[in-house]
Amino acid sequence: MHTLPFDTVLIANRGEIAVRIIKTLRKLGLRSAIVYHEVDAQTPAIAMADVAIEVSARTPIAAYLDIAQIIAAARKANAGALHPGYGFLSENAQFARAVIQAGMAFIGPTPETIELMGDKIRARNFVQRNGFPVAPSAIEEDDPATFVSKARAIGAPLLVKPSAGGGGKGMRIVRDLDTLEDAIDLSRSEGQRYFGDGRLYVERYVEDPRHIEVQVLGDAFGNVVHLFERECSVQRRFQKIIEESPSPALSPELRERICETAVGIARAANYQNAGTVEFIFGRGEFYFLEMNTRLQVEHPVTEMVTGIDLVAQQIYAAAGRELDFSQSAIVSDGHAIEVRLYAEAPERGYVPTTGKVLLLEYPHGVRIDSGILQGQHITTAFDPMLAKIISHAPTRMDAVTKSHRAVQELVLLGCETNAGFLARILADEAFLGGQFHTGYLEQNPHIAAGNTSDGLSAFLASAALLTRAVRDSADAVPELHAAIGSWRN
């Protein structure tokens, strides 16, 4: 029997993260409720949940952003708490307040903390005031008239970023100061379009940086701990593809420094629940990048090396429990790697792909966090991530080998994926040696392009021609041509 102040949790999300949350709710003896748009009606999360309530809107994404409908669904399900997952409304302070005002526990930090750390400019200023390292920067709203001149004074290279941004949207790297004004105009336009907020800031761009993040946990009693770091430098278009823990770039001394810095930032912000402090790291130094006030997509690698269920800890914190372990009790064991399986074609500029999943077989011996089923239609309505494949082994090389074997054993027919691309990264010499950075894929376009002379296309064409439907289609004579009869020129 659970001893929590609620027995039902509404999940305001979909896909693999909804499945992941339901698994922990079952383990804790809690009922799961979920909202869904009709396009998700036949997905695993809906089948697994104890209660499923449909929400509707002009687009599927809009349905998952409709605060009023979600709160009404939570009331209908008699939910005592709400888990936002990641994405959608997970870092929306207005939503967190609405949940609390409706008498439910919000499984995340307080609305005030979301507001503080969710705004990149406010967060950066807060971190700097508290004595933690930030990159040299200029902030537009401090003094708009001198923004450009202050940016120029920092010197190239610069990174122009929307204040309210995320996921790499609106970012521009400026290596030639003559292009600074154009970059500012483009970033402002994208910030306004994606986030409804055109405010900007610029900061010193660290060439070939590593992206290191630290998982933190806090409770309502002032206790804050870290669960070590994750390396997230393998990215395409500022979005992560492969994550691992521990980072191959950090010495034990640097690991302790960066993790303690993350704890200090979280403690200064009175942080409660699970969160991630992200840093840019290069040439032995690190700078605060941002804080994500939610569960991260890549949280499984931390769970694999620490043995701690982060979703359970989120639920305990939201229920008002004190952390039941100290920092010294948290140990990192072995090495974990997560690869993200996307419905996209890296060989064609990472364009999203669609189709019906005709056959789906996941590899054995690894953790799979998935939100799709055989027979499901993959559309462009949502983010293209289909599943996550997580490997854990005693050493990094063992984990890499395990991951490489897993993506090669994966079978998904009917929708093109990035599985071959992931295998090429995992076999690349630079990745194997831990010598990569956030620009690694951009500087090695051959990895995305793949090998077009391996006969795969010919093999697939031959296989297709063995099916009757394809042969009948190839042999069919169009009606217009058949009407001509046996006439020849």
Instruction: Give the active site residues.
Output: 294
What is the three-class DSSP state of 454? coil
Peptide bond into 111 cis (omega under 30): no
Q: Which pair of tokens denotes residue 55?
A: 């929400």
Peptide bond into 246 cis (omega under 30): yes
Identify the DSSP state of 323: P
The H-or-E segment that residue 261 falls in is helix 252-268
The 10 Å Cβ neighbour count of residue 156 is 16
| CA separation for the pair 43, 32 (Å, rounded) | 15
| CA separation for the pair 109, 157 (Å, rounded) | 35
The 10 Å Cβ neighbour count of residue 39 is 15
Rg (CA), the chain: 24
| CA separation for the pair 211, 442 (Å, rounded) | 15
Chain position carrying tokens 């998982």: 215
Regarding beta strands 377-378 and 344-345, do their DSSP bridges make them parallel or antiparallel, or are they unpaired? unpaired
